[in-house]
Every structure is written in C-alpha cells, then in structure tokens.
Amino acid sequence: MFDFMTPFYLHYYNSRAWMDTYWMGHPVYKCPLDLFLYQEILFTVKPDIIVECGTNVGGSALYLAQMCDLMNKGRIITVDIVEFERTKHDRITYLTGDSASVDTFNRIKQFINSGDVVLVILDSDHTEQHVYKELMLYHQLVTVGSYVIVEDTILGHPVYPELLPGPMEAVARFLPDHDEFRIDKSKHKFHLTFNPNGYLQRVK
C-alpha cells in the first residue's frame, strides 16, 4: 500500500525544493521523481500529441518537447489562462485560454488527427471543480494504453488541507463512471510523487 503520509513526504514538499527545480534553466514545478515517471510513460506510450493544461513559464512543456526530440516523435499543445514569456520550441504550441472551457477544448482538438496517440496532463487550477471539468472534457482524447495525468493530487493528501477538495477528489468523482480508466498504482513505486492516485491509464 502506497503511504503518502510519511514524514519525508511532508518534509520534501514543505522544503519548497519543487519551487527551485529547473529543466535546462527553466523553472519546472514538479517532483523530479515524477519527471522520471513521465520519461518512462513517454517512452512506453510514444504519444503523437501531449496536451498540457497549465503551462506557466513552460518548463514542463520544454521537458516534454526535449523528451520527444530524443524519441523523434510528438508535439505538445499546452494551454494557460495567463500569457508568459516562454522559450520557443518547434514541437510546442502555446495557447491562451481557460482549460476547462469547451471553446479551449475544441481549439485543442483541432491539433489532433484521427489515429494519433494522445496523452493528457492536467496541471492548471487545482480545485476539485476545475479538475473534474477538465477530466470530463479531456478524457475523451486519451487513447487506450495512454494516460491522463492528474497533477498535484498531493494537495490535501497531506499538504495544504485548507485547499480541499482538490484534484484527488476530482479523480474520486470521475472514476466510478469511467471504468475505461484505472489508477496505475505502479506509478507509486518511488514512494514520493506529487500525483498519488493521479496516473490514470486508459485500459479500454
């Protein structure tokens, strides 16, 4: 059983090291062990399109794009409600908008061709309501074998309990009606993730 209540878990999060983490000089607000899981997932799934909700300054998009460079495959469509100055990369398309709006979803869909393998990452507004709306929209894009990764399910479990209900509650609300997805518990293997129960694999 994965235990996300260990003292180290809290110690690591509260150290704020994740706010001082960089990919090629660009801030990336992730746990490095999650980035390693991303690399493993990307290599296995080999997506044509990676949809990212929540770009910020684009550190994670650049990480994804450079992983795609190594595999010589994949594009990143990333959306944020705020415009920032960001690094340009041939594989990255930056969009501005509310990720939970149908309009944004429809704009993103235009980049996807029939038969594309699609992976989705939800890392924008971390309230239950917003993440649930995103799940209800973007799960439709995820191809069998691929993932929707719900970031920061750690919120309230155990960090920042005042932010509940958050992403983990959205996952709990979404899954009972979507048995085509399952929590991939193998992604808890490093015993430190910001996304406990957040790696949702499409199995059918």
Q: Closest distance between ligand SAM and the C-beta of residue 26, in Å? A: 8
22-23 and 26-27: which strand pairing? antiparallel
Q: Which is nearer to ligand SAM, 14 or 113 (CB)?
A: 14
CB of 121 to ligand SAM, least distance (A): 7
Q: How far is the CB of 204 from ligand SAM (least distance, A)?
A: 28
Burial of 162 (0-12, 13-18, 19+ CB in 10 A): exposed
Q: Using alpha carbons, select from 91, 94, 47 the residue that is nearest to residue 66.
A: 91
CA distance 81 to 7: 35
**CA pair distance 195, 99, nearest whole angstrom:** 19
Q: Of 47 and 54, which has the nearer Cβ to ligand SAM?
A: 54
70 token code pair: 């190594």
In angstroms, give the least distance from the CB of 56 to ligand SAM: 4
Q: Which residues bind ligand SAM (CB under 6 A)?
A: 28-30, 53-54, 56, 59-60, 79-82, 98-100, 123-125
Judged by CB, which is closer to ligand SAM: 48, or 123? 123
